[in-house]
Structure 1
């Protein structure tokens, strides 16, 4: 940016690095970070978290660690957001050994994991198909008094879904209801996609409140709240030949 005659501030650098990180353009993100440091610009606490997130998204652990260490060097105290973002760097790199060590460090440093922290670790275990560790993390979260949200339940369903475990997916889908958490579309899709036998398909449709209707010769599965709208569309098609 400086070569173009521009004089960016710390926010400009942070936003550009974040954009490169989200686009998985790691080399450009690193180049901008090094340019910023070379220009003698000192990041703020907020911009440090943005920088950290940019590298964490792409699983650039070493670069994320450099940013994390720089926060302390500049006398900024990393908060739970900083620690969770650093944890996600290990997760996105599929380095669960590193993630476990950092999670232990997080607690040793006196921080209390929140639902995002636990969810990040659970997603990591799900990613490497370590369901036992995923469930251990879930139990630790539950015993700490944190109630699971939609994201946590969907992570559990997705993990069992990858193993084609319809029964376990049903258990967690029902668990969402017992917690008063409305299933999102992803949870519904996971359940429907896992149903292979006629009995499973029937159970899945009943659980997600789906009905089957035919429009123009094609069968469609619909959420119950959309059923009436679809019937109106079907009637319109019968009368006019178009939707």
Structure 2
């Protein structure tokens, strides 16, 4: 490595130990290229040991050095934020290459897609399917099943239930036990326990053997409808008299009990599964995640940690979701950062939630440089940010009144085809307020209304805070002049 009195590249053990805070992170370069430091950094105290120039420097994202402000402006944040508007991988539209077996298959596929679009547009599946029938002819079975399966994949259970109810009334369709099971499952997913009860009762009258699928669906319907005691009663009945609960049943009952704040009952169910002698099955990753989430909800961090360690002991594979659950417990950015590093050392790739949690931790600690560097890492990894993650980054700059950086983030939201919501506008407004720029705040408030948004109580509260702060500053000035 060559170094001269005029320039040096950030590299070597001294820099890693003394400049970078988060050594375990892999190297990453902002904006898919090496990060150039501006010559203004020469004025920084770090230049007593290293002189920065326009030469490229490798930056470990998420461990950017906290450089002092030069003339009231943080140079590193300014340099990094210049890349915010650069095009990203996820923005590129991929051209779909459609393959068909032959002309007949092409016609068939396009016709089916048109039908799907019509259902989405009209909001009524039965109306569109009824129009498809000609001369009282039955609809092709593969088309009906394909439509049902597609809506099932999309988790649009309201369409699934509507189509199946319509098919029940059709003489040309042989409504089978599998159809009933799918129908009761659909009602379970949308939380319509009255209709789920009706279907289960009808299946019993028809002589169908009690099924774990139908009972789990009814249990889920009660849970979605916040009838937690009814859901637990179904589960206990399944345990005592059958049908035997499946892994999915246990996943769902744990979720229901946790949502209903029945923590003791959830813990009892889970402890039974942990007992190798009594347990009917081995608890899976999803069950561990639900229990870690429960301990977070209950504020029992130590129990969550023990459960995390138990996953390794029992040979349960840990995932990004596992680490995200632990990160969500912490408020100290150092602890969040440690868990994030641990996740990467385990060979797991952070997802949008991981990045959002880390950005939020840095933002709350007023470490804007690190927050932005992590956001850049997320973009460069090709991960599309969510509206929430943009708002978190926006908040990181707003807290410190960094208006220009907040404006850059706000512009980036539109570039990434997100429409800023009232939360985004209110956060942007708070950036002006925290910068004591009430003229800018007032102009932005006018823009908010011009853009068709309705200010809420938080928006007005932010503006009122600005006026109160302005009045306090005026009074202080008056006292000083006396």
Give the alignment's TM-score, normalised by structure 2.
Answer: 0.40
Q: 1:192 is matched with which residue: 317, 327, 330? A: 327
Q: 2:279 pairs with 144, 147, 161, which one?
A: 144
Question: 2:183, 2:197 → 1: CA distance?
Answer: 11
Is 1:116 aligned to 2:243, yes or no?
Answer: no
Deviation at 1:210, TM superposition (A): 5.0
Q: Paired residue for 1:162, among 297, 315, 319?
A: 297
Moved more, 114-123 or 8-17: 8-17
Counterpart contact for 1:13–1:32, Cα < 8 Å: no
Partner of 1:172: 307
2:217 match: 85
Count of residue pairs the alignment pairs up: 220
Larger Rg: 2
Shift of 1:145: 4.0
Aligned residue runs from structure 1 range 53-64, under 5 A = 53-64=185-196
Q: Is the 8 A contact 2:161 2:186 kept in 1?
A: no
CA contact under 8 A between 1:60 and 1:93: conserved in structure 2?
yes
**Counterpart in the other structure of 1:23:** 156
**Alpha-carbon distance in structure 1 between the residues aligned to 2:233 and 2:149:** 27
Asked if 1 retains the 8 angstrom alpha-carbon contact of 2:184 and 2:196, the reply is yes
Gaps of 5+ in 2: 1-125, 347-357, 359-368, 382-482
User: What is the distance in 2 between the residues matched to 1:119 and 1:5?
Assistant: 40
Counterpart of 2:229? Answer: 97
Q: Deviations over 1:206-242 (max 9, x none)?
A: 6535599x99x7147x9xxx9xxxxxxxxxxxxxxxx
1:218 to 370, 373, 393: 373
The alignment partner of 2:290 has SS state of helix
Relative contact order: is structure 1 or structure 2 higher (C-alpha 8 Å, sep ≥ 6)? 2
Per the TM alignment, residue 168 of structure 1 is displaced from its structure 2 partner at its CA by 2.3
Aligned residue among 167, 170, 183 for 1:36: 167
Tell me, yes or no, if the aligned pair for 2:323 and 2:340 is still in contact at 8 Å: no
More strand by percentage: 1
Structure 1: stretches of 5+ with no match in the other structure: 227-243
CA contact (8 A) 2:160 2:183 kept: no
Shift in Å at residue 48 of structure 1?
1.4
Tell me which residue corresponds to 1:240: none
Residue 16 to residue 202, structure 1, CA distance change in 2 (3 Å): closer
Greater helix share, structure number: 1
Q: Deviations over 1:54-98 (max 9, x none)?
A: 111011101111111222222221322222222211122221111
Is the contact made by 1:90 and 1:99 (CA closer than 8 Å) also made in structure 2?
yes
Pair 207,3 (structure 1): closer, same or farther in 2 beyond 3 Å: closer
In structure 2, the partner of 1:4 is: 131
CA distance in 2, matches of 1:115, 1:69: 24
How far apart are the structure 1 equivalents of 2:338 and 2:130? 63
Q: Distance in 1 between matches of 2:327 and 2:197?
A: 41
Cα distance in structure 1, aligned partners of 2:301 and 2:240:
38
Q: What is the alpha-carbon root mean square deviation over aligned residues?
A: 3.6
Return closer, same or farther for 1:45/1:158 CA change in 2, 3 Å cut-off: same
CA distance in 1, matches of 2:259, 2:178: 29
**CA distance in structure 2 between the partners assigned to 1:184 and 1:82 by the alignment:** 30
